[in-house]
Structure 1
Amino acid sequence: MPECYAEFAQYTYRYSPSGTIYFSHPQGGHDDIVDSVAMANWARNNINGNIYVGGNNRP
């Protein structure tokens, strides 16, 4: 669990002037755990939704 805590502690966000939220981590850092938790939470709240990550070949 130490890597989980470290990843969340280093993850940051900022707002652009237009209001878009940008998420980031330090160079060389990781966001796998943070992204996984975010997608799991989204799925928990959107049971009938579809999760699609990356690429151009949408189902």
Structure 2
Amino acid sequence: MVRRLVIAAILAVLLVVLQLVFAHAGIGAALLTGLIAFVVAFVVLLVSDRWFTKTGR
């Protein structure tokens, strides 16, 4: 659980930084996109872990 949270947080922070530096997005838009990215990354990692545990790979 902690591994999924850390990976999702790192990806979200990376996305926010990239948007602020390269896309010149506003802070609100960058933070909202980072929050969405965090949730999506967490769900994808959760489903992936359960899928591979269930199939035995």
Q: Please, what TM-score do these two structures have when normalized by structure 2?
A: 0.34
Q: Which has the higher contact order (CA 8 A, sep 6+)?
A: 2
Which structure features the higher share of strand residues? 1
Which structure features the higher share of helix residues? 2
Q: Please, what TM-score do these two structures have when normalized by structure 1?
A: 0.33
